[in-house]
Amino acid sequence: MLAFLVQRISQAVVVMFVISVIAFAIQDGLGDPLQEMVGMSVSQEEREALRDELGLNDSMVVQYLRFAGNAIQGDLGNSYFYGKPTLDVIAEHLPATLELVIGASLIIMLLSVPIGVYAAIRPQALLSKFFMGVSTVGISIPVFLTAIVLIQIYSIGVTVEWFPADTGWGSWLNGALTTEGGLPSYGRGDDLTHLFGTWNSGFFSNRGLMHLVLPCVSLASIMLPLFIRLIRAEMMEVLQSDYIRYARAKGLSAVRINFLHALKNTMLPVITVGGVQIGVMVAYTILTETVFQWPGVGLMFLEAITRSDIPLIVAYLMVVGLIFVITNTLVDLVYGLVNPTVKLTGKKA
């Protein structure tokens, strides 16, 4: 166990080192800090002197070591646009993204387990086939398109006049498909509760929750089909095993077998894959936040790209890299703890 621990942690350190080298290369390769700092009128000699002073003429290795040393001490430079330390900017934006991920994860957990289990227990039922069909379609819809459709339906509202309005069923169908609109589709709203530090939460007020609904549903929509399929596949495999057959032969009730005996062993791989997928969700938050103008780190990153705010881009890479490395290492460790014989295999993008 100790060897495993050391191996995983040293691997995480190596990955973080590679990420920092990439981030350093980006910082070094993109743009010239002198151009940002001085005007046109500064002479060549003064530029050279400033270069020396800033250490830009030092060797690559020395510059990298300085960069890494500062990074470890929590100094990743100042953002050009915000004019303050990049890590502070990220700290201000991170809570919004985390709330999005938390909300989406809640939706995924609450829906995927019952649907996945049901589809595994009754694979031939019409409802199961419907859920599996919907999940295949769901995988094929890009997250930003789901978001746009949700905005169109629940924020702008749609008027449906496809069916003959003079018949009873026609006007009922028209009425049922027509939506009023009204859910907010822009930002987090201003009714936020201050928790601690930079964390202002939207979870504790009605307006805040309303603002969370559409972004969280969109973000959940991309992961939900994956989880339903995964839970269904794992559950079906578990239901084939000997101990379940034995439990059936013993005459235990179906509910007890399915939810106590089978579900426990189904959830083991699901939780670990889930841990990794929550990290993967960070990529999708960029898309979701763009559509909803959600003031989180994803939108901040995209704006940093448009503004060529290189220190902020680099800081985002380092922070997101660290989040990924930590979640993956934790997931690996938990998995190794619970089940040392099984190697964690594939995970889909």
Partner 1 sequence: MTTATLSRWDRFRESFLWYSFKRDKVAIVSFLVLLLMVLAAIFAPLLAPTDPYDLALINIMNSEMPPVGMQGADAAFPLGTDAQGRDMLSTILYGTRVSLLIGFGAVVLQAALGILFGLLAGYLGGRVDSILMRIADVQLSFSTLMVAIIVGAVFKASFGSLMFGEIAIYMLIFIIGVAEWPQIARTVRASVLAEKKKEYVDAAKVMGFRTNRIMFRHILPNTLSPIFVIATVQIANAIISEAALSFLGLGMPETQPSLGSLIKSGFDYIQSGSWWITLLPGLVLVVLVLVINLLGDWLRDVMNPRLYKG
DSSP for 207-263, written as a single string: HHHHHHHHHHHHHHHHHHHHHHHHHHHHHHHHHTSHHHHHHHHTT--HHIIIIIIIH
The conformation of residue 85, written as its DSSP 8-state character, comes to: B
- Complex with partner 1: residue 111 or 132, whichever CB lies closer: 132
- Complex with partner 1: residue 230 or 262, whichever CB lies closer: 230
Please state the closest distance from residue 347 (CB atom) to partner 1, in A: 5
Q: Provide the token pair at 99.
A: 């709330």
The dihedral sign for the CA sequence 125, 129, 134, 138: positive
Residues lying near partner 1 in the complex (CB under 8 A) are found at: 11, 15, 18, 26, 29-31, 136-137, 139-145, 148-149, 151-152, 156, 226, 230, 233, 269, 273, 276, 279-280, 282-284, 286-287, 290-291, 301-302, 305-306, 308, 310, 313, 317, 320-321, 324, 328, 345-349
Taking each helix axis as running N to C, give the angle between helix 126-139 and helix 206-239, from 0 to 180 degrees, rounded to the nearest 10.
Answer: 120
- Complex with partner 1: residue 122 or 129, whichever CB lies closer: 129
Please state the closest distance from residue 216 (CB atom) to partner 1, in A: 19
- Complex with partner 1: residue 16 or 212, whichever CB lies closer: 16
Q: Using CA atoms in the order 322, 328, 331, 335, what is the torsion angle rounded to 10 degrees?
A: -140
Please state the closest distance from residue 195 (CB atom) to partner 1, in A: 28
Please state the closest distance from residue 209 (CB atom) to partner 1, in A: 23
Please state the closest distance from residue 318 (CB atom) to partner 1, in A: 12
- Complex with partner 1: residue 5 or 302, whichever CB lies closer: 302
**Maximum C-alpha span of the chain:** 90
| Residue among 30, 29, 28, 50 nearest 39 (CA) | 50
